[in-house]
Amino acid sequence: MINWETSFVSFSGRMYTPNDESFSSFCKAFNGNFKKRPACILFPKSENDVASVLLFAKNNNFKVSVHNGGHSTIASGLNNNHLVLNMRDMAGVSMSEDQNTIVVGAGALAHEIDDVTTKFGKAIPLGDCPVVGISGLTLGGGIGFLSRSVGLTCDYLIGAKVVTPTGEILTCNKNSNNELFTLLKGAGQGNFGVVTELTFTMVDIPTTVYGGNICWHLDDAKEILSNYDQLLKEAPNELNLYARVNEEMGPMVKVYGMYNGDPSIGKQYFDTIRSWGETIFDNAKEYSYQTIQKINETTIVDSPCFLWKNGLIDETLSSELIQTLLSAYSNRPTPYCRLNIDTIGGAVQKPKELSAFAHRNSTYVLSVMGVWFDVKDKNECIRWAKETMTEIEPYLNGKIYVNYADPECANNPEKYYGSTGKRVLEMKQQMDSKGILIGTLNPERSEFS
Ligand SMILES: Cc1cc2nc3c(=O)[nH]c(=O)nc-3n(C[C@H](O)[C@H](O)[C@H](O)COP(=O)(O)OP(=O)(O)OC[C@H]3O[C@@H](n4cnc5c(N)ncnc54)[C@H](O)[C@@H]3O)c2cc1C
């Protein structure tokens, strides 16, 4: 029996074991299907704290998961019976004096960065969910409302501090540990080391932008999705949109996003979008950039259970694909099952630096989510998500976006990282030969793997 207090005498942060009342609150994964119970959860305050936990794990045959915002679709930031490093107490965000870079603690959430940068008229590209963790987001790529106009979150990373599984503290950037730095951008989630600090460059953002959500009844979905595809082909990269088929206000199709530029030009694009049919909801208007980043905060339900499958499309959304998706959706086993069509392309295709993100030439990330709250619906939702993916497989390029990690994709780096996958595996072996870290490359076995 391990005495955790005496095991971590030099650890300066908070520590929780199953005997502590608040322990279960730190075991919560966004995907409620994954119920995890680690042996001990530690909140480090410094790189030395992180190193001491990794060395303890190495010497005592424990594995370690790293937890930032907890939004992993496969709960890879948690585990059963091993150690968790929860980075939330290392979450400072500080702007450089010249206001060109920010240094972010690995435990920060997306909106905590916007809270600082937008005061200076700056931003880094983030995702559409304000409470996703910055480490998970960046280390898997990072697609959001600025992607088409300026690129991915990871494209703005210019430096990182990493504690290796052997307890070494590394500075990674263009000039130092460059290959590791390159692979961190897109393939870094819990694979090579624990990131404690991230440094980003930023872009200027307009004070206000035009954007929001426009929704129509599901009956109009075929036409709306076809118009969505056509508009994105023709519109400038400043226009960034996502599409959803779901049941937020009854069965419906939603197009949302923003125009990163003059709001009066943005309004013209959203006027075109609203002309596509009789809308059932429309809150598109001029907002502050910070508000639009949080526009869908209230639609996030607490701990749904889901199987999130995704695939990449390199072409347009053909009418056959749209028809196949909508027929599948009409047979969804629960009202919560949904289809997400996220746009990429534009500036994502032209990164200034190399990274492990493997989807530069794709146009959309298509997600099929079997979602349930009642366990009696679980098997049907899993079947529905898998069968729908099989039906649309001919339209996909065979790769998978790691930020929407697929529980059936364990130990399959080519699917996540394409031709870089081999190098990612070699780096994992070089950095973590004992497999101490649990990450998206080697998640814990689950019912799906
Ligand atoms: C509701 C929702 C909305 C989303 N929206 C978007 C979106 O718009 N765009 C997009 O690109 N993605 C999006 N995602 C996916 C999200 O970016 C990924 O799931 C991301 O990995 C979550 O990061 P996290 O820190 O919140 O999660 P966690 O579960 O804490 O971590 C995720 C992974 O990163 C690893 N990790 C975390 N911190 C560190 C660290 N410091 N060092 C090393 N490894 C670390 C963990 O070990 C784990 O494997 C969304 C997910 C959800 C559930």
Domain end marker among 185, 204, 223: 204
Question: Which domain CATH number covers 102?
Answer: 3.30.465.10
User: Is residue 235 a part of any domain in this protein?
Assistant: yes
User: Is residue 419 a part of any domain in this protein?
Assistant: no
Shared-domain flag, residues 192 and 254 = no
CA of 140 to the centre of ligand 1 (A): 7
Position 80 scores a pLDDT of: 97
Shared-domain flag, residues 272 and 392 = yes
Shared-domain flag, residues 66 and 97 = no
Shared-domain flag, residues 113 and 246 = no
Judge if the beta carbon of residue 245 lies within 6 A of ligand 1.
Answer: no
Closest to 50 (Cα-Cα) out of 106, 113, 1, 93: 106
Shared-domain flag, residues 276 and 394 = yes
Judge if the beta carbon of residue 279 lies within 6 A of ligand 1.
Answer: no
Judge if the beta carbon of residue 125 lies within 6 A of ligand 1.
Answer: no
Closest ligand 1 atom to residue 196 Cα is 41
Judge if the beta carbon of residue 442 lies within 6 A of ligand 1.
Answer: no
Position 412 scores a pLDDT of: 86
Question: Which domain CATH number covers 55?
Answer: 3.30.43.10
By the 10 Å C-beta count (0-12 exposed, 13-18 middle, 19+ buried), 326 is classed as middle
Amino acid at 164: T
Judge if the beta carbon of residue 140 lies within 6 A of ligand 1.
Answer: yes
Shared-domain flag, residues 358 and 345 = yes
Shared-domain flag, residues 48 and 101 = no
Shared-domain flag, residues 274 and 380 = yes
H-assigned helices in 16-97: 47-59
Position 300 scores a pLDDT of: 44
Shared-domain flag, residues 401 and 336 = yes
Domain tally, the chain: 3
Shared-domain flag, residues 319 and 384 = yes
What is the C-alpha to C-alpha distance for residues 397 and 170, in angstroms, rounded to an integer? Answer: 36
User: Is residue 416 a part of any domain in this protein?
Assistant: no
Domain end marker among 204, 232, 255: 204
Q: Is residue 260 helix, strand or coil?
A: coil
User: Is residue 432 a part of any domain in this protein?
Assistant: no
User: Is residue 435 a part of any domain in this protein?
Assistant: no
Write out the DSSP string of 120-163: GTEE----S-TTSBHHHHHHH----TTHHHH--SGGGEEEEEEE
Judge if the beta carbon of residue 151 lies within 6 A of ligand 1.
Answer: no
Shared-domain flag, residues 45 and 102 = no
CA of 220 to the centre of ligand 1 (A): 33
Judge if the beta carbon of residue 135 lies within 6 A of ligand 1.
Answer: yes
CA of 409 to the centre of ligand 1 (A): 16
Q: Is residue 322 helix, strand or coil?
A: helix
Shared-domain flag, residues 153 and 230 = no
User: Is residue 331 a part of any domain in this protein?
Assistant: yes
Closest ligand 1 atom to residue 194 Cα is 42
Residue 401 in contact with residue 141, Cβ under 8 Å? yes
Tens of pLDDT along the chain (449 residues) come to: 788 889 998 899 999 999 999 999 999 999 999 999 999 999 999 999 999 999 999 999 999 999 999 999 999 999 999 999 999 999 999 999 999 999 999 999 999 999 999 999 999 999 999 999 999 999 999 999 999 999 999 999 999 999 999 999 999 999 999 999 999 999 999 999 999 999 999 999 999 999 999 999 999 999 999 999 999 999 999 999 999 999 999 999 999 999 999 999 999 999 999 999 999 999 999 999 999 999 886 544 567 999 999 999 999 999 999 999 999 999 999 999 999 999 999 999 999 999 999 999 999 999 999 999 999 999 999 999 999 999 999 999 999 999 999 999 887 899 999 999 999 999 999 999 999 999 998 898 888 76
By the 10 Å C-beta count (0-12 exposed, 13-18 middle, 19+ buried), 332 is classed as buried
Judge if the beta carbon of residue 68 lies within 6 A of ligand 1.
Answer: yes
Domain end marker among 87, 112, 137: 87
Determine the residue of 27, 68, 128 to mutate for testing ligand 1's pocket, defined as the one with the most ligand atoms within 8 A of the Cβ atom: 68
Closest ligand 1 atom to residue 74 Cα is 29
User: Is residue 58 a part of any domain in this protein?
Assistant: yes
What is the C-alpha to C-alpha distance for residues 437 and 173, in angstroms, rounded to an integer? Answer: 22
Judge if the beta carbon of residue 71 lies within 6 A of ligand 1.
Answer: yes
Question: Which domain CATH number covers 344?
Answer: 3.40.462.20
Judge if the beta carbon of residue 136 lies within 6 A of ligand 1.
Answer: yes
What is the C-alpha to C-alpha distance for residues 257 and 243, in angstroms, rounded to an integer? Answer: 9
What is the C-alpha to C-alpha distance for residues 107 and 1, in angstroms, rounded to an integer? Answer: 30
Domain that holds residue 190: 93-204
User: Is residue 369 a part of any domain in this protein?
Assistant: yes
